[in-house]
Structure 1
Amino acid sequence: MAIKADRYEGIDGLKAYAIIGIALMHVLSNGKYELGGFAFERLIPSFTNLVFLFMMVSGFGMCCGYYQKIIDRKISMEDFYKKRYIKIWPYFALLCALDFVISPSKESLSEVFANLTLCQGLLPNANITVIGVSWTLAVIFVFYMLFPFFCFLLGNKKRAWGVAIVALVFNFLCGSYFNADRTNIVYDAIYFIAGGLIYLYRKELAEFAQKHKVITGAILLAATVAYFVLGSSTFTMLFFCVAALLYTLGCKWGGTGQSSRKIPRWHMLRDLSVPHGNLSCA
């Protein structure tokens, strides 16, 4: 009988909550609401940084689905990249076409072309306005392009930690010297790598989270407080994202064990075009 792989179903719920938070942020920023208080002035606007949580989940999820297959050469590069395009391109192309029909121009045509290649994330400071929020998708697709190299970087834990330190330094230099922001893959690399590191320690972390639910909950609470008290720096955002993913690993379903702490499976949201891999880990 085949051994059933562990599946981290709680991450489907984590993505769902993040989707709702980002949607609320866009509604507030695009509307003319004269609302005050902590919720409308600080809490909801801060949800924009949940994109970094998606990046970390993407790093973890892609490793769950493809890391071992690529290391063992059990999937061809052609199959890997075909799946990435098939998953994203049709729906995104439709949105780009609708945007161009509504606001046609020479500039929009150039941006639509860049979008349809899914290579717009390679452009320096592109500032694409056709489906402008797709900058996240552009960054994550560059991550897909580099994923085989990413697997090499995670080849062992010692190398992975060294790469994480380098990525953290690069993140700092992007803001202080190179004038690159979160639309740049080098700035965001630390979040993908952090997701990969969590994958390497997934069994130990999941076991800890399941046994020490109160502690992981307290860590997540402390990370949330630190974010609002200290500000939205890379360190506070990393702390929050890692804490959220750690807490969620304690909500594992299927495979060799189950947690009594349940997060909704959100079946209608788990298959949205939110980049991630198969969340089943052998």
Structure 2
Amino acid sequence: MQSLNLQYNPRIDQLRWLAATIVFLFHFQLEYRGLGGPALVSPWAALITEGHTGVGLFFTLSGFLFMQIVLHQKTIVYGDFLRNRVLRIVPLFLTIFLIATSIGRDNFQPQDIFYLFATNLGHAPTSGTPVTGAAWTISLEFLFYMVFPFLARFAMERGPRYLLSLLVLMAFFKLSAYTVNANSTLMYFCTFVGRFDQFLIGMLAAMLYQQQRSFRVPPAFGPLLLLGATVLVVCEMAALHHYAPFGATPKSAFWIFWSMFESAGWAAFILAWLAFGPRLPALLDRVLCHGGKVSFSFYLLHMALLHLLAVQVGRVVPTGNGWIDAFIMIALTYGATWLLATLSYNTIEEPFLRMRRRYGIGKTTEFGEIATSK
């Protein structure tokens, strides 16, 4: 996606595509297994069976990208920054929220309107159905947007040690919260305590990337770094699958620091992918970049389409072979989701994105020198 404040890097869009695709495969296998399809049981398939990790990649990538923008621009105008964030996420998010309240109209309470700001807590209307369930992440994203300009300023002034100090505090919050929460796994999965450190780790990775820009990775090492980062992520997910798969137990000590390990693995993957020298074939590059461009619509709408097809069409068995049929269904549902996301992007997102503006070049605000849109 083109930014007004940073030179376009297709590798970032490709990472967005990857995150959305991982989450799609996660929910596809849940729906397909629910229809009687074969289940993935190997821990080495955990990148799919624990594909909620795509959310961890999204969060880490958000911290990384916004910190990159600040390191490039040096300034952020708070009001303009939030204006761009609202234009970026609110039109589609509000659409999803209105769909959720329409579905649950018979149980709607006036105070439920406040769930616009807390879709990850309590009994949010969006969490009542798989059609809108993916919206829980948006409240955490917007919380990060609200405080990011301050975090960026302090990190620029004090260096990476400031973010490291915040991560130490987050570790303390995680430990203390574990002692009093009976459903700590869900708490770590979808709340500030469980996820905010992933934004911070993304910011740290951006600062590391900036410091090492002058260091050129030898072309022969690029693929090795990417392979190492991939192995790290796959092994992390295999460990999660083995010791504490999501949904298996409401309380597991494994999850206390899981988000930090998960995000560190994805940060390594982001850095390795950016350092990867070989260019992708032109057609593949364009396709994946388009996937990144429409990834927000893809993420928020894919569950609705998957559930609709599961209920109205069911499991299709053209060959009678469970795995071949699964691949056919993946291809068909993925393509349908891609088309739906493109329609949503062009209709709901893109007109508002054209209203964005730069948020700080040549301006001074109460943020002083650090006063700049994604």
The TM-score normalised by the length of structure 2 is 0.60
Gap change, CA 1:6 and 1:250, over 3 Å in 2: farther
The runs of 5 or more residues in structure 2 that have no matched partner are 127-131, 242-257, 300-357, 359-374
CA contact (8 A) 1:175 1:181 kept: no
Aligned to 2:269: 244
Q: Distance in 2 between matches of 1:17 and 1:96?
A: 25
Residue 120 of structure 1: which of 114, 118, 121 is its match? 118
Q: Tell me the CA shift for residue 200 of structure 1.
A: 0.9
Aligned to 1:197: 204
2:49 aligned with 1:45, yes or no? Answer: yes
Counterpart residue type for residue 22 of structure 2: G
CA contact (8 A) 2:60 2:263 kept: no
Counterpart residue type for residue 195 of structure 1: G
CA contact (8 A) 1:209 1:247 kept: no
Q: Tell me the CA shift for residue 220 of structure 1.
A: 1.4
2:243 aligned with 1:221, yes or no? Answer: no
2:291 aligned with 1:269, yes or no? Answer: yes
Residue 168 of structure 1: which of 161, 167, 171 is its match? 171
Q: Distance in 2 between matches of 1:209 and 1:138?
A: 37
Deviations 1:35-68 (A, max 9, x none): 1344697442211122011000000111223456
CA contact (8 A) 2:197 2:259 kept: no
Aligned to 1:62: 66
Q: Tell me the CA shift for residue 182 of structure 1.
A: 2.5
Gap change, CA 1:30 and 1:104, over 3 Å in 2: farther
CA contact (8 A) 1:209 1:246 kept: no
Q: How many residues are matched?
A: 260
Q: Distance in 1 between matches of 2:261 and 2:145?
A: 26
Aligned to 2:240: 231
Residue 35 of structure 2: which of 27, 33, 52 is its match? 33
Deviations 1:181-209 (A, max 9, x none): 22212321211111111111213556455
Q: After alignment, is 237-246 or 136-145 more displaced?
A: 237-246
2:3 aligned with 1:19, yes or no? Answer: no
Gap change, CA 1:43 and 1:159, over 3 Å in 2: closer
Secondary structure of the equivalent of 1:268? helix
Counterpart residue type for residue 273 of structure 2: T
Counterpart residue type for residue 24 of structure 2: A
Q: After alignment, is 42-51 or 100-109 more displaced?
A: 100-109
Aligned pairs for 1:126-165 within 5 A: 126-130=122-126, 131-155=132-156, 156-165=159-168
CA contact (8 A) 1:157 1:200 kept: yes
Gap change, CA 1:43 and 1:245, over 3 Å in 2: closer
CA contact (8 A) 2:236 2:262 kept: yes
Q: Tell me the CA shift for residue 213 of structure 1.
A: 1.1
Aligned to 1:78: 79
Secondary structure of the equivalent of 2:293? coil
Q: Distance in 2 between matches of 1:105 and 1:196?
A: 43
Q: After alignment, is 159-168 or 200-209 more displaced?
A: 200-209
The runs of 5 or more residues in structure 1 that have no matched partner are 252-258
The TM-score normalised by the length of structure 1 is 0.77
Counterpart residue type for residue 114 of structure 1: F
Q: CA RMSD in A?
A: 3.3
Aligned to 1:255: none
CA contact (8 A) 1:209 1:216 kept: no
Secondary structure of the equivalent of 1:143? helix
CA contact (8 A) 1:170 1:187 kept: no
Q: Distance in 2 between matches of 1:42 and 1:33?
A: 20
Q: Distance in 2 between matches of 1:261 and 1:246?
A: 16
Q: After alignment, is 11-20 or 94-103 more displaced?
A: 94-103
Gap change, CA 1:103 and 1:163, over 3 Å in 2: closer
Counterpart residue type for residue 170 of structure 1: F
Gap change, CA 1:68 and 1:210, over 3 Å in 2: same
CA contact (8 A) 1:55 1:140 kept: yes
